[in-house]
Amino acid sequence: NIPTRVKLIDVGPRDGLQNEKQPVPAAVKIELVHRLQAAGLKEIEVTSYVSPKWVPQMADNHEVMAGMTRQPGVRYSVLTPNMKGFEAALLDQPDEVVVFGAASEAFSQKNINCSIAESIERFAPVVQAALAAGIAVRGAMSCTVGCPYEGEVAPERVTMLARLMKGIGVQRVDVADTIGVGTPLKVQRAIEATLPHFDIDHICGHFHDTYGQALSNTYAALQMGVWNFQSSVAGLGGCPYAKGATGNVSTEDVVYLLQGLDIDTGIDLDALVDAGAFISSALGRKPNSRVATALLNK
Ligand code: HMG
Ligand code: MG
């Protein structure tokens, strides 16, 4: 009973680029967004409104949001950890804001400088204000399988975070394997742990490929009926507060898997590979995607 249609959210411009040491010009980020939407992506995570001292690469959030040409039917999302971030984001009219919590206390502290409970207190007014302004709200749940500081994360922690997210009005959540240590069974347990509070239609799978398990984990999530997934064109990424974690699973690899399963994504794989080649060459490297590598060398 795997889904016949899947929606992919490309998080490359945000999750993918946030960790780049070299400055990436806003014009390049804008071009990336344009290429992703031209390839058929209907959801793009564009940027974040966080402290530029913590994440300098996202300091051009306004420039990118104001400079891109929006395509009707595409949802543009941005990260907002607190009211300060939300107020800045509001001026740029995102379709969705993302509050981002963690299933592990240590990661919450390192990433957003507060406990899980404090983070929920900060998110609550953001969610309220967003919904009042007609903006959708997603909750990212980091470290639902493992944490770079605490090791394995118990499913009960995920259930607790999902309950807190639901309690403040978050509409859907990402079950994120932030450091890519998950295997199919563990990822299925994390999804199962979320289900008491969010149904399968409101859960997005977010997998990193550190141990090469992301596609298997995607398939395991599909088997549970998950049909929303996040991925990063050219496998961009790695989290600044998750040492050693590689990028998100590449969108190209996920699309290839889904095409092979006769699952409709609405994405043109060749155009997507070109988008990945574009950003990779801007970064001076090759795409971190097996499918892109294969197709580019054909
Ligand atoms: P803080 O220091 O605790 O906040 O940081 P504060 O309220 O005490 O403020 C300190 C300073 O930050 C002040 O400036 C504020 O104005 C400023 P100062 O007076 O010192 O000049 N500030 C802000 N500036 C811009 N935008 C804001 C903002 N808020 C405060 N929104 C804070 C708290 C959350 C801001 C900080 O810890 C931060 O920015 N962290 C970065 C978090 C981040 O972006 N992490 C990466 C994304 S999460 C991720 O990648 C995982 C995920 O993708 C899932 C996965 O991949 O698996 C979601
Ligand atoms: Mg990620």
Residue 245: its pLDDT value, please?
Answer: 73
186-212 residue pLDDT tens: 999 999 999 999 999 999 999 999 999
113 lines ligand 1 (CB under 6 A): yes
pLDDT digits (tens, 9 = 90+) for 136-154: 999 999 999 999 999 999 9
Give Cβ neighbours of residue 40 (< 8 Å, ≥ 6 apart): 265, 266, 267, 268, 271, 272
ipTM of the complex: 0.98
Question: Looking at ligand 1, which residue's alpha carbon is closest to its atom 8?
Answer: 113
Q: Where are the alpha helices (DSSP H) in 68-149?
A: 83-90, 105-112, 116-132
Model pLDDT, residue 62: 98
Local confidence band at 240 (pLDDT 50, 70, 90 cut-offs): low
Place of tokens 């344009």: 34
Mean pLDDT, the chain, integer: 96
CA of 247 to the centre of ligand 2 (A): 7
Mean pLDDT throughout 53-63?
97
For residue 48, what are the CA distances in angstroms to 54, 56, 107, 147, 217? 11, 11, 18, 22, 26
**Alpha-carbon gap, residue 93 to 66, rounded angstroms:** 9
The one-letter amino acid at 273: V
| Choice among 143, 147, 204, 239 that is catalytic | 239
- Ligand 1 atom 52: residue of nearest CA: 142
Phi/psi-derived region of residue 243, left when phi > 0, alpha when psi is between -120 and 50, beta in every other case: beta
Q: Per-residue confidence at 242, pLDDT binned at 50, 70, 90?
A: low
Decide: 54 in ligand 1 pocket, CB within 6 A: yes
Average pLDDT of span 223-229? 98
State pLDDT tens for residues 82-130.
999 999 999 999 999 999 999 999 999 999 999 999 999 999 999 999 9
| In the predicted structure, residue 229 carries a pLDDT above the cut 80 | yes
The 10s digit of each residue's pLDDT in 15-49 is 999 989 899 999 999 999 999 999 999 999 999 99
- pLDDT over 90 percentage in the chain: 95
Q: How confident is the model at residue 238 (pLDDT cuts 50, 70, 90)?
A: low
**Confidence (pLDDT) at 247:** 85
By alpha-carbon position, which residue is closest to atom 3 of ligand 1? 113
Known catalytic residue at 239: yes
How far apart, in whole angstroms, are the C-alpha atoms of residue 113 and residue 128? Answer: 22
Q: What percentage of the chain exceeds 70 in pLDDT?
A: 98
Of the two residues 298 and 279, the one the predictor is more confident about is 279
Whose structure tokens read 């390192």?
110
CA–CA dist 161, 99 (Å, integer): 12
Residue to mutate (ligand 1; options 11, 19, 46, 51; most atoms within 8 A of CB): 51
Q: 221 falls in which pLDDT band (50, 70, 90)?
A: very high
Amino acid at 286: K
pLDDT value, residue 101: 98
- List pLDDT tens digits, range 5-19: 999 999 999 999 998
CA of 63 to the centre of ligand 1 (A): 19
pLDDT, residue 1, reads 81
Helix (H) or strand (E) holding 159: helix 155-167
Report angle CA 7, 33, 229 to the nearest 5 degrees: 20
Closest atom of ligand 1 to 82 CA is 31
